[in-house]
């Protein structure tokens, strides 16, 4: 799976390099059209290679789309957080011992202690008995 990802990433980089080499001519980016420049004063402009303009536009559009989607999905994240809190509260409620369960656990432990402390009246299952100690 990693090999496929690396192969596709490498192919994408090669395509980007070819696009950059094919569009290496320098272009001028002006803030205002030439017709509005006399009305608004001097129009600021930048000179840069075309592939930088293309890459910058792609990055700007990608960033704007990511921010837009993050803002659009906020209600879903809020709802998910509320449901997660509700689920955790339900789990804590289920795991918390009830008074009846606590009493049952105390009774069980008390019976186990009294059985362990009382002398056995019958032989244990399987016919095993306690070894007898021979006096010297």
pLDDT tens-digit map of 25-77: 999 988 888 888 778 877 788 999 998 998 899 999 999 999 999 999 999 99
What pLDDT score was predicted for residue 16? 86
Percent of the chain with pLDDT over 90: 43
What pLDDT score was predicted for residue 126? 56
Q: How confident is the model at residue 133 (pLDDT cuts 50, 70, 90)?
A: low
| Whether this model's pTM surpasses 0.85 | no
**Lowest pLDDT segment from 5-9, 48-52, 97-101, 126-130:** 126-130
What pLDDT score was predicted for residue 7? 94
The Cα–Cα gap between 52 and 46 comes to 12
What pLDDT score was predicted for residue 85? 97
What pLDDT score was predicted for residue 125? 57
What pLDDT score was predicted for residue 132? 56
Residue pair 100/94 in contact by the 8 Å Cβ criterion: no
Arithmetic mean of pLDDT, 96-108: 76
For residue 27, count other CB atoms closer than 10 A to its CB: 13
Q: Who has greater pLDDT, 123 or 27?
A: 27
The Cα–Cα gap between 103 and 88 comes to 25
DSSP 8-32: HHHHHHHHHHHHHHHT-SEEEEESS
First to last CA, the chain: 77
Q: Who has greater pLDDT, 114 or 81?
A: 81
The Cα–Cα gap between 104 and 19 comes to 76
């Amino acid at each position: 799976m990693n090999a496929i990802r690396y192969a596709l990433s490498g192919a994408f980089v090669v395509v980007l390099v070819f696009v950059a080499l094919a569009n290496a001519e320098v272009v001028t980016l002006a803030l205002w059209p030439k017709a509005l420049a006399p009305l608004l004063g001097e129009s600021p402009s930048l000179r840069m290679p075309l592939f930088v303009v293309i890459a910058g536009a792609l990055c700007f559009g990608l960033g704007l789309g990511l921010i837009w989607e993050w803002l659009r999905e906020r209600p879903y994240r809020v709802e998910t957080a509320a449901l997660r809190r509700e689920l955790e509260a339900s789990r804590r409620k289920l795991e918390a011992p009830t008074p009846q369960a606590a009493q049952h656990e105390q009774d069980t432990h008390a019976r186990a202690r009294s059985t362990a402390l009382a002398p056995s009246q019958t032989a244990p299952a399987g016919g095993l008995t306690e070894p007898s100690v021979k006096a010297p």
